[in-house]
Structure 1
């Protein structure tokens, strides 16, 4: 067995043991939601792949425009001819009296088949464009929800961290007081228990945040060694007025790519029906041929024409299938429109509910002053103006209220995203 030289072995060992250390370093990237969307449009791999379908459809249009190639055939070549035919053989030259024939033929498509096929493939490209837009619509909604979830978890994690710092300071102070016998150890235990519960919730929140980070970085196609922090932008959203719903229905018909695709599929089958009908007309093949010694004359030049006799097969089955596909696609398009209207109505009702609830919280002065109350309760506990039980109860209420406030803002954000997804438009 060959031995590895010592310098090479040491080099591989250093690389192996140092690379995990480098892999643990996080690079923090701070983005606004607008910057995240711009990065997503530029780098998302699924979007890049889906966009290639449009180029494929362009290639199909180019191919549909092509004429059939002419066909050249050489036949009836007589290499073992008579002695008279071999008289012209000089230094390996082709015998001048050898019999052979040459034919050149060209297929001519009739009934405008080529242009009809081009029209059909052009509709296919339009369908590919709408399919791309539909994928983009779904991925943008997913991205925006991830941004909303990540922003919520970041904010809630900050609330929990502030509580943790306060409880840790109180715990250290109570440890000294308990050691001096100034307070009962049960109060210290109660405080430590509350701290443990808080730290457990912090771990769960950070685990959820890690999952959202994974999904977000996957959509943005950035390194897993990066960590994203989102700077929230202005979350002002339109007021859900009752008369807004009717205009959303109109917007959906004009903007939703899946509804456009349903209409285009009907158009595609209509073009397909026209094309299949044109196939009933037989194509013509024109030919010109030259024949030497193959008939009465030594050098014969002739022209010809050939075509099928459409007695047995007039493409009846494909024509019938295309006609059925037209009716089927129309029914499916109507069903899509019906589903879309119900989706918009549901999304609007959810947004209206979430918007009103978040506004109610924003107008509650008591909830907006929670941070001040948190500082007051902490000072009162240190001054022994309130009991430990009162303080722990307030801490739980504070955390629950903060979570409700942040959750209400997140739900309003997500319900608005779902409304935009249902209408297929970025509403303002």
Structure 2
């Protein structure tokens, strides 16, 4: 029995601990969210390592080839022909080392005479620039994902409050109507209509809560934060700039210089140009310098010699790799041009979408009725209780309230998202 109580106590403690963790609220501004994102996002950390990997490749390319040492012709034991009685034929080098032993030692060093090593270093440096551009592109993509998620998060939080206002008003009316029905002053049909309207709003709130939780998960994943916290954004209302203050032509021009994917495509051409120079250098055969020592292997008892060797470029002059490098240059030029055209098309599309969504948002935002709706809730509720309006008119009002508020919040969210999309395709923060 004691063990059972102990198990129940531990289980209750774990539940209490998990509940306490779930109730932990982290309030952040949009700027603080981005700062945490830049420090903790795992995709960014992993992608940034590619730059260090490229640095390591540059260091490796700078290294000389290792010298080669070979020892051969060693007799591990002496034969009877190497002795005449007890007389020693081959004396030791020192002490008793190498007595009656013949061997040869050769030391060689490969030398590139056409600057292959320096050309390879230049290639790897361009690879590092490509890695940096790719990191910037990943950062750009993750940042716009983060900002769009923040926009959705703010919208869902605001719309949740709209539904909460409806639920509060309907719940208060239902309490009053329930007392009136109990006293026989009202029919149950009217109470049922209000309860049906409440259930509909509560069902929609559950769906919004599920979407809100999904955005919570997405934001916390991007921030690499603890799973048992609840995020709150404290600066939900941000100014959305007017698109008319921006020049479409200037934005398209800026994109050519600032977008990392365009830069990476141009760097690919540079890389293949460096590769062509490297492959052409490979046509020139390398030299191998060598020094050798031969003990008792020839006419002289101790022979020291020097040599040089190189391939004769008769059949293989690296023709295939040179041709491949030339084709890669032509291909990368086409792809770079395609990327530039795509970037400009994306800027035009994003600007037009932003212009349209912003125009609709300002139209809705400038409607005076939007800001009067919250104050009208109590008025309609009192009029319903005073029998000045019917229950159908009241339900029609709350439906209108919800759809109008939703349209306003959606227009605001879409304008914010389209602005972030415009900044994404331009490649910089638009001021």
Task: Provide the C-alpha distance between the structure 1 equivalents of 2:70 and 2:303, rounded to a whole number of angstroms.
Answer: 16
Per the alignment, in what secondary structure is the counterpart of residue 303 of structure 1? strand
8 Å CA contact retained: 1:249, 1:341: yes
Structure 2 CA distance for partners of 1:10 and 1:56, relative to 1, 3 Å: farther
Please point out which of 259, 267, 272 is paired with 1:269. Answer: 272
8 Å CA contact retained: 1:85, 1:95: no
TM-score, structure 1 length as denominator? 0.94
Task: Provide the C-alpha distance between the structure 2 equivalents of 1:322 and 1:424, rounded to a whole number of angstroms.
Answer: 31
Task: Provide the C-alpha distance between the structure 2 equivalents of 1:50 and 1:267, rounded to a whole number of angstroms.
Answer: 22
Q: Is 1:19 matched up with 2:14? A: yes
Q: Is 1:340 matched up with 2:337? A: no
* Residue in 2 that maps onto 1:70: 67
8 Å CA contact retained: 2:90, 2:101: no
Task: Provide the C-alpha distance between the structure 2 equivalents of 1:92 and 1:301, rounded to a whole number of angstroms.
Answer: 22
Please point out which of 45, 49, 55 is paired with 1:48. Answer: 45
Q: Is 1:36 matched up with 2:33? A: yes
Task: Provide the C-alpha distance between the structure 1 equivalents of 2:335 and 2:223, rounded to a whole number of angstroms.
Answer: 34
Task: Provide the C-alpha distance between the structure 1 equivalents of 2:395 and 2:14, rounded to a whole number of angstroms.
Answer: 45
Q: After superposition, give the CA deviation of every residue in 1:111-155 in whole Å (9 maximum; x if it has no partner).
A: 110000000000000000011111111111111111000100001
**How much does 1:300 deviate?**
1.0
**How much does 1:17 deviate?**
5.9
Structure 2 CA distance for partners of 1:132 and 1:111, relative to 1, 3 Å: same
8 Å CA contact retained: 2:169, 2:377: no
8 Å CA contact retained: 1:77, 1:98: yes
Q: Is 1:413 matched up with 2:420? A: no
8 Å CA contact retained: 1:213, 1:228: yes
Q: Is 1:319 matched up with 2:322? A: yes
Tell me the number of residue pairs that the alignment of Structure 1 and Structure 2 aligns. 422
Task: Provide the C-alpha distance between the structure 2 equivalents of 1:11 and 1:97, rounded to a whole number of angstroms.
Answer: 84
Q: Is 1:293 matched up with 2:296? A: yes
Please point out which of 366, 369, 382 is paired with 1:366. Answer: 369
* Residue in 1 that maps onto 2:182: 179
Q: Is 1:216 matched up with 2:219? A: yes
8 Å CA contact retained: 1:103, 1:289: yes
8 Å CA contact retained: 2:93, 2:99: no
Per the alignment, in what secondary structure is the counterpart of residue 241 of structure 1? helix
Unaligned runs of 5+ in 2: none
Counterparts of residues 215-234 of structure 1 (less than 5 Å):
215-234=218-237
* Residue in 2 that maps onto 1:235: 238
Task: Provide the C-alpha distance between the structure 2 equivalents of 1:11 and 1:293, rounded to a whole number of angstroms.
Answer: 88
Segment drifting more, 359-368 vs 120-129: 359-368
Q: After superposition, give the CA deviation of every residue in 1:69-123 in whole Å (9 maximum; x if it has no partner).
A: 1111112122333125567579993234521111111111111100000000000
8 Å CA contact retained: 1:262, 1:332: yes
Q: After superposition, give the CA deviation of every residue in 1:231-263 in whole Å (9 maximum; x if it has no partner).
A: 125522322128610011111111111100000
Q: After superposition, give the CA deviation of every residue in 1:325-366 in whole Å (9 maximum; x if it has no partner).
A: 000011011111111111111110110111111111121112
Structure 2 CA distance for partners of 1:51 and 1:197, relative to 1, 3 Å: same
Task: Provide the C-alpha distance between the structure 1 equivalents of 2:181 and 2:7, rounded to a whole number of angstroms.
Answer: 55
* Residue in 2 that maps onto 1:129: 132
Structure 2 CA distance for partners of 1:90 and 1:141, relative to 1, 3 Å: closer
* Residue in 1 that maps onto 2:55: 58
Task: Provide the C-alpha distance between the structure 2 equivalents of 1:174 and 1:40, rounded to a whole number of angstroms.
Answer: 51
Segment drifting more, 15-24 vs 97-106: 15-24
Tell me how large the CA RMSD over aligned residues is: 2.0
Please point out which of 110, 114, 117 is paired with 2:117. Answer: 114
Structure 2 CA distance for partners of 1:234 and 1:97, relative to 1, 3 Å: same
Structure 2 CA distance for partners of 1:233 and 1:214, relative to 1, 3 Å: closer
Q: Could you list the structure 1 runs, at least 4 aligned residues long, displaced by more than 2 angstroms after superposition.
A: 9-25, 78-81, 84-93, 95-98
* Residue in 2 that maps onto 1:423: 426
* Residue in 2 that maps onto 1:3: none
Structure 2 CA distance for partners of 1:13 and 1:114, relative to 1, 3 Å: farther
8 Å CA contact retained: 1:151, 1:232: no
* Residue in 1 that maps onto 2:207: 204
TM-score, structure 2 length as denominator? 0.93
Q: Is 1:255 matched up with 2:252? A: no
Per the alignment, in what secondary structure is the counterpart of residue 313 of structure 1? coil
Q: After superposition, give the CA deviation of every residue in 1:297-340 in whole Å (9 maximum; x if it has no partner).
A: 11111110001000010000000000000000110111111111
